[in-house]
Structure formats: C-alpha cells, structure tokens
Amino acid sequence: MGRYELEYPRDAVNLIKRHGERGIYALEKIHSLVNTSQILHVSFNPPGSPFPVILPMIGQMGSFDRPSASLGDPLDLYLHGYVSARIFNASRAAAATGEGDGMPVCVAASHVDGLVLALSPFNHSYNYRSAVLFGHAVLVESEEEKLYAMELVTDSVVPGRWRNSRQPPTGAEMQSTSILRVKIASGSAKFREGGVSDDKHDLESEDALNSIWTGVVPIYSTMGAPIPGPYNRVELPQYAQFFDDFGNVNKENSIAAAQK
Amino acid sequence: MGRYELEYPRDAVNLIKRHGERGIYALEKIHSLVNTSQILHVSFNPPGSPFPVILPMIGQMGSFDRPSASLGDPLDLYLHGYVSARIFNASRAAAATGEGDGMPVCVAASHVDGLVLALSPFNHSYNYRSAVLFGHAVLVESEEEKLYAMELVTDSVVPGRWRNSRQPPTGAEMQSTSILRVKIASGSAKFREGGVSDDKHDLESEDALNSIWTGVVPIYSTMGAPIPGPYNRVELPQYAQFFDDFGNVNKENSIAAAQK
C-alpha cells in the first residue's frame, strides 16, 4: 500500500558489477526467489581446508519472532541439513571460538528460464533468475524454533504437507534433526529476461540471417504423475493439486520471461 | 572393456560422511553429472571479504591436450564467466601472488529428481544427484585453448550449436570472453534414488497408513516450444530435436530413479 520497498544496501560484497542494470536489491524479490527454490547451494569454509565447500540444502526465509512477516521484511534463512554434518560442526566451531556472529556463509538460489540463441555464439545467453545471500549461520537450539523451521521447510516442498503427515515429531526425530538459522548481512539478485539481441554487423549479414535460427527456448521444472509407494492406501489428497500447479506456473513464467 | 573405473581418492575434503553408502567417487559418474548440468555453482573466497561467494556459471569437463579423452579420464573443468568478473580478478590475484596453483574453488552440480513423501516428515527426502569438485582455477591465456573451451561450452548448451552459429569469432569477441580452467584436486558425488522408507513404528500405525499419502513425485527439467526471435528467418534446424530429447530423457530418468 504505497510503502517503500526495502533493499539490501549495496556494498563491495553484494554489488552487481557486470550488467549492473540487471542487479536487484529488493528484499521481496530476493526472498521470493529463495523461497521458490527446491534446492539452495550453501558455501562455507571448513576449518583446515584450502577449499570452500558447497552443500545443496533445503531452506526457507522466515521470522520466528514475527511469523506473519511478509517477504519484503527483514527475514532469517532457515536451512535444513539433509546433506552433511560438516556445516553444522563448522558452525559449532565458529560459535565456540567466540565468533559470536556465527559461521560466514553464502547461499545461492538459481533458476534457468530459457536458452537465448543468437546469431553470434557470444550473444547466446540464458534467461535466468539468480540470488545470493550472505550471512552468519548458527545452530538453532530452542525446540520451539526448530519446530517452527521444520514446518516452514516441509511446507515449502509441498504446501500443507507438515500437518498432513505424521505428527507430532518423536523425541528422537527432534534430536537427530539440525536446523541452521542464517542472519542475513547482505544480498542481491540478477535477472535476465527477454529475447535475442545481436550486434549490428551480424544483423546486417544476409548470410547469417538466412542460415541461423534465433529465438528463445523456454526451460522449466515440472512434476510427473505421482507414483504411490508400496504401503500407500489413500487417494491423492487435495493439496496434491500443487504438483500440477508447480509445472504450470513454471511453464508460464518461462514463456513470459522470453516474451518480455 | 573391463578396464578399472578411475576414482577420486577419498580424503578429508571429499569424503561423504552422512549416508556414506550413497557416496560416489568414480570420475565417470561425477563428470557426467557436471556435463549434464545447465548451471554450475562456483564458490571461491574473494580477497578481503569475510564471506565465500557463489556464482552461477556454465561449464564443461574436457581436455585440451587430449580432446578425445572419455568422461572417465582425468579432465579439466572449463568455466565460462557470463556472470561476474570477480572470479576472474580473484584468479588473477592468486596467480600474481605466486600461488602458482591458482585460486581454490568448489564447483557444485545438482539435479532434483523427485519428492519422496513418507509417513513421518522426518523420512521425507528428495531423489537427487549432486556432485562437487574441488580444484584450482586459472585464466586460460592461449587463444587456441579458449576456442576449444568456447566450442565445448556452447555445444553443451545445444549440441552442434557452435558450428551452426556465426563463425569465426571476431577479435573483440575473443578479447571480451574469459575462460577459467580448473585443475581438479578432488571430487565426490551423492545420489538418492528409490521409493519411500518409513520407520517400523509408523508402518504399524493404522491411523498413519489410512490417512497419509506416501510415494514419489518425479521432478524434471523440460523445454517448451521454441519461440522464434523478431529477426529469425529460418525453420527449426535438425539439431533442435535436442529440445524435445532434453525433457524426454530427464522425465524418463526421474521416473526410473523413483522405481529403483
């Protein structure tokens, strides 16, 4: 309602330099991109290794203190560590050494929306949306906050699934599940939308124009028909409509991006 | 033909600890995963920043010295930097400070193949294939090797597209394009395939079995109908068959993974 749109301040860490006109700093756009990514890539520096590490993880923006916060508000990122215990150990180590901020991480969310095929290979591109967040990760200790984050993350995979699966969690499940909370320091995003664009000298080449197909091929992620498991007894529930919606929305978005 | 399968040696950097039985070290499997990823996530530590950075990039495994090498051979990773100049500057800085190896990077390739929906939210999972490579990145200086890598990367996006687009590159195009070569130090991959699996106490719960849908929902990336650009004059070429094949192969793989 006419409120200004919050942005992450531009600094040396998050500034988009190349194609700066494609740079996006609005919290709402960046957080939306993160929340619609089925997989996030999380990078950190494990103690004693020369290499940063990337782990694919599932995550979601949220606010435990203000669960009704909107996507354009300052939010934390909750990460669920299916993949490896290293990031949790490194986070614990960072906390133990008195680096009260937590472990520095970078989190990336990327969608490829189309192939952009131009006359010159150098004007080929993807339509894409990508975001990065920088922040400090700590382990969530409170049981209440862990439950909040688990529901948030589960429902990001299939909306409504948490309350439609076996509840409540057992003590063993709560103990064996780790959640990281990332306090965001900065972030930015970059979008590429639209059709092909070639240089003048190629657009004047009859030879090139008469032989090379140019345009955009939309790309999107979709879901196939659900395959019931060996002990399933029930019909597909109403919230399974999401499986169809997922592909349809992605398809529409990829075509809309091509036509911008 | 009966030759042993090369593996990356297991060490502290690449060892898969959690679900170690899912760990994969074979070069062929890891390189295939990288080469079928439309987007790679590349992490490095820019000088002076507390945070590692992740950039989405396009890349491909190859060998300039032995172009006929197979996917199971030791290969380099060639990265094309559409996204930002920071990684190239950091690589230059690493070279300048006498760190002859180049800039330490981690590169991740990830595919989500399905939602695994179990009785307990804690047994929910993705079917997925993910790989990481660790290595040292340097800028490619030789024009011949740059051309080799550009063709390799372009044809990874659409097979055959390089020779079917405007050739040869102009001097300006060669100058403005940077290619990184990553010498691989180590790598590993992790796959999750198959159906749902729940704990005994849930499988004995009539209440859970009678109310919760369980099974796998395949997920795959596909391409929509090509949208010709405003100056396109030609019919879809024969190699455009790839656009259909891409989605069909991904769909089959995601269903096969669910049924394993």
Does the pLDDT value for residue A250 go beyond 90? Answer: yes
Q: What was the pLDDT predicted at A176?
A: 86
Place of tokens 């070069």: B27
Question: What residue in A sits closest to B44 (Cα-Cα)?
Answer: A52
Q: Please state which of the ranges A100-109, A248-257, B161-170, B222-231 shows the lowest mean pLDDT.
A: A100-109
- A193 φ, ψ to 5°? -130, 165
B160 and A CB contact within 8 Å: no
Q: What was the pLDDT predicted at A72?
A: 95
At residue B116, the 3 state secondary structure works out as: strand
Q: What angle do CA B36, A29, A157 make, to 5 degrees?
A: 55
Domains assigned to chain A: 20-259 (2.30.110.10)
Q: What was the pLDDT predicted at A83?
A: 39
At residue B22, the 3 state secondary structure works out as: helix
B 94-113 → A contacts, CB under 8 A:
104-108, 110, 112
Average pLDDT value over all residues in chain A: 92
Q: What is the ipTM of this complex?
A: 0.94
Q: What was the pLDDT predicted at B113?
A: 98
CA dihedral B131, B134, B137, B140 (to 10 degrees): -50
Q: Do A108 and B56 touch (CB under 8 A)?
A: yes
**Residue A122 is nearest to which of B117, B161, B177, comparing CB atoms?**
B177
A52 and B CB contact within 8 Å: yes
- Please tell me the distance from the alpha carbon of residue B57 to that of residue A126, in angstroms, as a whole number: 11
Question: What residue in B sits closest to A154 (Cα-Cα)?
Answer: B121
CA distances (Å), origin A89, targets A85, A95, A147, A200? 6, 10, 21, 55
Q: What was the pLDDT predicted at B93?
A: 67
With beta carbons under 8 A apart, name residues in chain A contacting B202: 166
Q: What was the pLDDT predicted at B83?
A: 39
Q: What was the pLDDT predicted at A156?
A: 96
B130 and A CB contact within 8 Å: yes
Mean pLDDT of A162-181: 93
A134 and B CB contact within 8 Å: yes
- Amino acid at the residue A125: S
Residue B78's nearest CA partner among B17, B6, B155, B16 is B155
Give the closest-approach CA distance of B51 to chain A in angstroms. 5
Mean pLDDT of A43-68: 94
With beta carbons under 8 A apart, name residues in chain B contacting A226: 213, 215-217
- pLDDT grade, residue A151 (50/70/90)? very high
Q: What was the pLDDT predicted at B1?
A: 47
- Please tell me the distance from the alpha carbon of residue A46 to that of residue B165, in angstroms, as a whole number: 44
Q: Which residues of chain B have pLDDT under 70?
A: 1-3, 82-100
Q: Please state which of the ranges A1-10, A61-70, B9-18, B251-260 shows the lowest mean pLDDT.
A: A1-10
Q: What was the pLDDT predicted at B20?
A: 84
